[in-house]
Amino acid sequence: MIDIAIIGTNGEEFAYGACPSAMTFFEQAEMVQGFVKLRFAGRAAVSYRNLEDGMDPEFAERVRRGELELPLVLFDGEVRFAGDIPWQDIQKELKQAIGA
């Protein structure tokens, strides 16, 4: 199973990748989670993590230094996308990763 983690904050920051309307990082993560459940049930799972909770100190430091931009999308702990939650690209990468 592929673990997809979306990392953002609990603030009102907005991400624009998957929808033309403004959605918070958390709202977009919920949307991606729903799509993944429908299309890739049992082969991938999506979780949302708040960077401010301290669970990801390495990524927090890299964001503070300007190396990465929120939101982050990780596949099995590896950053695949930064600064956006691009559903179509996530779907393509997920299909390749699971061989679908």
pLDDT tens per residue, range 43-71: 999 999 999 899 999 999 999 999 999 99
Residue 68 lies in a domain: yes
Nearest one of 65, 89, 64, 62 to 75, comparing CA atoms = 89
Higher-confidence residue of 11 and 18: namely: 11
- The domain of 9 spans 2-53+60-72+85-98
Residue 80 lies in a domain: no
Residue 8 lies in a domain: yes
Average pLDDT over residues 23-27: 87
pLDDT at 18: 47
Note the pLDDT tens digit of each residue in 32-46: 999 999 999 899 999
Half-sphere exposure of 17 (CA within 13 A, CB side): 25
The number of domains in the chain is: 1
